[in-house]
Amino acid sequence: MRERVVVAMSGGVDSSLAAALLVEAGYDVVGVSMRLWGGVSDSGCCSLDDFLDARLVAEQLGIPFYVMDFRAAFQRAVVDDFVAEYRQGRTPNPCARCNQFVKFAGFWDRARELGASSIATGHYARVAAPADGPALLAGIDADKDQSYFLFGVDRAVLARTLFPVGALDKPAVREAAARRGLSVAGKADSQDVCFVSRAGHAAFVVGQDSAQPLRPGAVVDEDGRVLGTHDGVHRFTVGQRRGLGVAGGPPRYVTAIDAAAGTVRVGAATRTVAGGLVATSPNWLAPPPLSGTRVTVKIRSRVAPQAARVLRADALGFAIAADDGLRAVTPGQAAVLYDGARVLGGGWIAAAVGGVR
Amino acid sequence: MIYLDHNATTPLRPEARAALLAVLDAALGNPSSAHGAGRVARAALEKARRALGAALDVPAAAVCFTSGATEANNLALFGALPVPAAAHVIAAPIEHASVLAPLRELQRRGARLTWLPVDAAGRVRVADVEAAMTPATALVSVGWANGEIGTVQPIAEIAALCRARGVLLHVDAAQAFGKVAIEVGCADLCTLSAHKLGGPVGIGALVARRGVALRPLGWGGEQERGLRPGTENAAGAAAFAAVVTERPLGGGVAALRDRLWAAAAALPGVTRHGPEHDGLPNTLCLSVVGLAGEAVVAALDLEGVAASVGSACAAGSGEPSPVLLALGCDAATARGGVRFSLGATTTGAEIDATAAALQRIVERMRGVGASRAAAG
What's B161's domain CATH number? 3.40.640.10
Q: Do B294 and A66 touch (CB under 8 A)?
A: yes
Return the minimum-mean-pLDDT range out of A79-88, A189-198, B55-64, B272-281.
A189-198
Tally of domains in chain B: 2
Examine residue B113 and state whether it is found in any structural domain, yes or no. Answer: yes
Same domain? B30 vs B100: yes
Examine residue B303 and state whether it is found in any structural domain, yes or no. Answer: yes
Model confidence at B375: pLDDT above 80 = no
Domains in chain A (CATH in brackets) are 4-179 (3.40.50.620), 214-267 (2.30.30.280), 272-353 (2.40.30.10)
Contacts of A68 in chain B (CB under 8 A): 292, 294-295, 298, 318
Please identify, among B243, B274, B299, the residue that sits at the C-terminal boundary of a domain: B243
The percentage of residues in chain A with a pLDDT greater than 70, rounded to a whole number, is 95
Same domain? B334 vs B306: yes
Same domain? B231 vs B272: no
Between β-strands A28-35 and A4-8, what pairing exists: parallel, antiparallel or unpaired? parallel
pLDDT of A211:
61
Same domain? B220 vs B268: no
User: How far apart are the C-alpha atoms of A199 and A43, rounded to whole Å?
Assistant: 10
Chain A 78-137, residues with CB within 8 Å of chain B CB atoms: 109-110, 112-115
Segment B1-21 shows an average pLDDT of 97
pLDDT of A39:
55
pLDDT of B193:
98
Nearest-Cα distance to chain B for A309, in Å, is: 33
Return the minimum-mean-pLDDT range out of A24-28, A179-183, B150-154, B321-325.
B321-325
Examine residue B8 and state whether it is found in any structural domain, yes or no. Answer: no
With cut-offs at 50, 70 and 90, classify the pLDDT of residue A316: very high
Same domain? B79 vs B123: yes
Examine residue B59 and state whether it is found in any structural domain, yes or no. Answer: yes
- Which of B64, B190, B313, B329 is the catalytic position? B313
Same domain? B355 vs B278: yes
Model confidence at B350: pLDDT above 60 = yes
Model confidence at B316: pLDDT above 70 = no
Please identify, among B208, B243, B278, the residue that sits at the C-terminal boundary of a domain: B243
Examine residue B296 and state whether it is found in any structural domain, yes or no. Answer: yes
Segment B286-300 shows an average pLDDT of 94
User: How far apart are the C-alpha atoms of A332 and A348, rounded to whole Å?
Assistant: 6
Same domain? B46 vs B100: yes
pLDDT of A357:
46
- Please report the DSSP string for A6-51 in residue order: EEE--SSHHHHHHHHHHHHTT-EEEEEEEE---S--TT-TT-HHHH
Nearest-Cα distance to chain A for B279, in Å, is: 30
Helices B293-302, A105-113: axis angle to 10 degrees equals 50
Model confidence at B314: pLDDT above 60 = no
The whole-chain average pLDDT of chain B stands at 94
Handedness of CA B214, B217, B218, B224 (dihedral sign): negative
Segment B121-128 shows an average pLDDT of 98
Of A35, A71, A110, the CB nearest to B295: A110
CATH code assigned at B334: 3.90.1150.10
Beta-bridge partner residues of A125: A138
The boundaries of the domain holding residue B317 are: 249-375
Between β-strands A135-138 and A125-128, what pairing exists: parallel, antiparallel or unpaired? antiparallel
Examine residue B1 and state whether it is found in any structural domain, yes or no. Answer: no
In terms of C-beta distances under 8 Å and separation of at least 24 residues, what long-range contacts does B188-194 make, across chains too? Answer: B188/B80, B188/B162, B188/B212, B189/B76, B189/B80, B189/B214, B191/B69, B191/B72, B191/B73, B191/B76, B192/B69, B192/B72, B193/B68, B193/B69, B193/B72, B194/B16, B194/B68, B194/B236, B194/B239, B194/B240, B194/B243
Contact indicator for B206, B189 with CB cutoff of 8 Å:
yes
Model confidence at A212: pLDDT above 80 = no
pLDDT per position as a tens digit, A23-60: 999 999 999 999 998 754 555 566 778 899 999 999 99
With cut-offs at 50, 70 and 90, classify the pLDDT of residue A356: low
Q: How far apart are the two ends of chain A, measured CA to CA in Å?
A: 60
With cut-offs at 50, 70 and 90, classify the pLDDT of residue A214: confident
Same domain? B122 vs B32: yes
pLDDT of A355:
66
A279 CB-near residues (< 8 Å, 6+ apart)? A317, A318, A319, A335, A346, A347, A348, A349, A350
Same domain? B287 vs B139: no
Examine residue B345 and state whether it is found in any structural domain, yes or no. Answer: yes
Instruction: Quote the ipTM score.
Output: 0.89
With cut-offs at 50, 70 and 90, classify the pLDDT of residue B311: low
Q: Do A69 and B302 touch (CB under 8 A)?
A: no
B133 CA to centre of own chain: 25
Chain B CB within 8 Å of residue A71 CB: yes
With cut-offs at 50, 70 and 90, classify the pLDDT of residue A337: very high
Contacts of A66 in chain B (CB under 8 A): 294, 298, 301, 316
Neighbours of B333 (CB within 10 A): 21
The whole-chain average pLDDT of chain A stands at 91
Nearest-Cα distance to chain B for A35, in Å, is: 8
Model confidence at B151: pLDDT above 90 = yes
pLDDT per position as a tens digit, A184-196: 998 888 776 788 8
Pick the residue of A69, A76, A101, A157 with the most B CBs within 10 A to test the interface with B by mutation.
Answer: A69
pLDDT of B83:
80
pLDDT of B317:
61
With cut-offs at 50, 70 and 90, classify the pLDDT of residue A107: very high
Examine residue B38 and state whether it is found in any structural domain, yes or no. Answer: yes
pLDDT of A249:
80
Segment A341-357 shows an average pLDDT of 88
Same domain? B167 vs B286: no
pLDDT per position as a tens digit, B296-306: 999 999 999 99
Model confidence at A213: pLDDT above 80 = no
Minimal-distance CA residue of chain B relative to A106: B372
Beta strands in chain B (DSSP E): 2-3, 63-66, 88-91, 112-115, 137-141, 168-172, 189-193, 204-208, 270-273, 283-288, 305-306, 338-341
Please identify, among B200, B228, B243, the residue that sits at the C-terminal boundary of a domain: B243
Contact indicator for A97, A78 with CB cutoff of 8 Å:
yes
Same domain? B131 vs B228: yes
Nearest-Cα distance to chain A for B27, in Å, is: 36
Same domain? B254 vs B239: no
Segment B177-205 shows an average pLDDT of 97
**Nearest by Cα to A346 from A103, A154, A159, A188:** A154
pLDDT of A318:
98
pLDDT per position as a tens digit, A269-287: 888 899 999 999 999 999 9
